[in-house]
Amino acid sequence: MAYTILEPIAASGSPHAQYAVGLILAKRGAELSTDMFDTDTIRALDTAAARDARQKAIREAQSHDMFGAAARQGHIGAIFELGFQYERGIGTKVDIDKALSMYRIAGVKNHLNAQYNLAVLLSAENGAKPNLGEAYMWAVTAHHNAIKKGHKLLTPGLTDSLASKIRTRIRHGNAVRAHRIAAKLTGLAV
């Protein structure tokens, strides 16, 4: 029902509705009526598994389009979701550089998940060029925000653990700079 109500509002250009429809398609799309995504092309597929896979791909591409439309209007949650989709190849091809770009935009706006994901991506050998100084800055920033926001999954303990692991791999001067930047972004010196 939410999709049915929000979809025309999203089509009219509301970034909040576009974000909500993107979330529904990305996270709860399998619960939507298959009639919404049923086409002659899909019905012509041989197996139920092939039809389900094609419908899932359509939902993911549509969610990517919705997040993109909302992101172009500055919706921070949508910018984060685009980053996540680029990182994982959901509704689009994997593009770590685009993921990092989206996460940085959201991270500067104090999106905790974006900050955490930046720290993880920039500290590991997973397609992104490691940048331990920047990774540490984002980990400290995420830790500050975890303290302020009381997130149920990204807790101060989890974010501190990530920051501590990265800290052992960088120089003292880089760590001091990272703390200063994190304090400016979050308004919280820890």
DSSP letter string, the chain = -HHHHHHHHHHTT-HHHHHHHHHHHHHHGGGS-GGGG--HHHHTSSSHHHHHHHHHHHHHHHHHHHHHHHHHTT-HHHHHHHHHHHHHTSSS---HHHHHHHHHHHHHTT-HHHHHHHHHHHHSSSSSPP-HHHHHHHHHHHHHHHHHH--SSS-HHHHHHHHHHHHTTS-HHHHHHHHHHHHHHHS---
If one compares 188 and 42, the residue with the highest pLDDT of the two is 188
Give the pLDDT band (50/70/90) at residue 40: low
Residue 125 has pLDDT above 80, yes or no: no
Tokens of 69: 């439309």
pLDDT digits (tens, 9 = 90+) for 11-27: 999 999 999 999 999 98
Taking all residues of the chain, what is their mean pLDDT, rounded to a whole number? 91
> Which pTM was predicted?
0.89
- The mean-pLDDT minimum among 53-57, 60-64, 147-151 falls in 53-57
**Predicted local confidence at residue 189, as pLDDT:** 77
**Predicted local confidence at residue 62, as pLDDT:** 94
Residue 37 has pLDDT above 60, yes or no: no
Measured between alpha carbons, how far is residue 19 from residues 4, 115, 133 in Å? 14, 20, 32
pLDDT digits (tens, 9 = 90+) for 65-81: 999 999 999 999 999 99
CB atoms under 10 Å from CB of 101, counted, come to 15
Per-domain boundaries in the chain: 1-109, 112-190
Averaged over 167-171, what is the pLDDT? 95
**Predicted local confidence at residue 39, as pLDDT:** 62
**Predicted local confidence at residue 124, as pLDDT:** 87
Give the pLDDT band (50/70/90) at residue 97: very high
